[in-house]
Amino acid sequence: MNVGIKDVARVAAVSPATVSRVLAGRPVDPDMRDRVMAAVHETGYRPNLAARRLRSRHTNTIGLIVADIRNPFFTAVSRTVEAIAYDRGLRVIFCNTDEDAAKEAMYLQLMQEERVTGVILAPTREGADRIAHVESDFPIVLIDRAAPNASCDSVVIDNAAMAAKLVAHLHRLGHRRIAGLFGTDTVTGRERCDGYGRAMEECGIPGQVVPVAHEREQAQRAITALLEDASRRPSALVVSNSVMLQSVLRVADALGLEIPRDLALTSFDNEPWMEFVGGGLSVIEQPVEEIGRTAVTMLMDRLDHADCVTRRVVLAGRFIARGSGGRGAEA
């Protein structure tokens, strides 16, 4: 049998209500407070959070649902979100959907049952569409992936502009055959693709977009198809994220291509190892901490101002130039 608040009350010779008040930090006679605290320590009392949540009707819990925990970008964001949340006395329920819309729906339902205070969500493509229509009991803040017309608060980076920056960088280095690899299943992928497309147009060179699926086998097939024919091979690539970039590297390695001599690579996300591949890759670093911090803040804000208009925070990425980017290729 576990020790409950009543046991503490008995030991301290006060009422359960008083124990509750002491623990909640409400005003109580110092003398009694001491007695209660002594009793708490003596009995080793630990409040039962389920009971507390049931009665008080607030769970102090937020949900964090990301689409792919293997993507270090999401790991990094999650880390910040959790650190900040725990710091504010919020518990975090963490979920990973693996880009599976059904799993995502299941988790959102779980959030309902948990009666969470709010949810931070990096949705799948389908999920992003669905969110627009569904009314949930808790506020949702979308991160990383959010259509501009989303009906939720969101914090994203300026994907189109950042993709354009990568194109501009490669163009400046002399590349003329620049292909773009973007995810088929995400809003983010589409936005980056658009930015890439427009930038290529502005440069006056034809773009070549390769849609890449999340599933690795498929991704590598698509990339191989792009790179294997030396005569039609692009001289440089804009890659949508670090996971995809690894597939590119694997294929390039298999084909015996040397980076950046045979193929210059640029990508979104900045991982430590990127410094050491192909003489250093130029990338767009996303402000992961700021994304996490902003998301939590927006969520808290939304709780205070439930009927405020939806807000969309667009953060800039940071362009990091490294290495030579390749010798360039005269188209």
Partner DNA sequence: AAAACCACAGAGAACGTTTTCCCTACTAGG
Partner DNA sequence: CCTAGTAGGGAAAACGTTCTCTGTGGTTTT
* Sheet hosting strand 91-96, strand order edge to edge: 91-96, 61-66, 118-121, 140-143, 153-157, 312-315
Instruction: Calculate the dihedral angle through the C-alpha atoms of 183, 187, 188, 191, rounding to the nearest 10 degrees.
Output: 100
Residue 90 CB, shortest distance to DNA, in Å, is 16
Contacting positions for DNA (CB under 7 A): 2, 4-6, 13-21, 23-24, 27-29, 32, 45-48, 51-52, 54-57
Closest to DNA by CB, 4 or 174: 4
Give the Cα separation of 312 and 298 in Å (integer).
10
Residues 6+ apart with CB under 8 A from 217: none
Residue 249 CB, shortest distance to its own copies, in Å, is 5
Closest to its own copies by CB, 137 or 217: 137
Give the Cα separation of 137 and 171 in Å (integer).
48
Alpha helices per DSSP H over 255-306: 288-304
**Could you tell which of DNA, its own copies, none binds residue 206, using a CB distance below 5 to 8 A set by kind?**
none
Residue 51 CB, shortest distance to DNA, in Å, is 4
Contacting positions for its own copies (CB under 8 A): 2, 46-51, 53-54, 59, 69-70, 72, 75-76, 78-79, 82-83, 86, 91-96, 98, 109-110, 112-115, 137, 246, 249-250, 253, 259, 271-278
Under a CB-based contact definition with an 8 Å cutoff, are residues 288 and 80 in contact? Answer: yes
**Could you tell which of DNA, its own copies, none binds residue 45, using a CB distance below 5 to 8 A set by kind?**
DNA
**Could you tell which of its own copies, DNA, none binds residue 114, using a CB distance below 5 to 8 A set by kind?**
its own copies
DSSP state of 274: G
Closest to DNA by CB, 73 or 138: 138
Q: Radius of gyration of the chain from Cα atoms? A: 25
**Could you tell which of DNA, its own copies, none binds residue 14, using a CB distance below 5 to 8 A set by kind?**
DNA
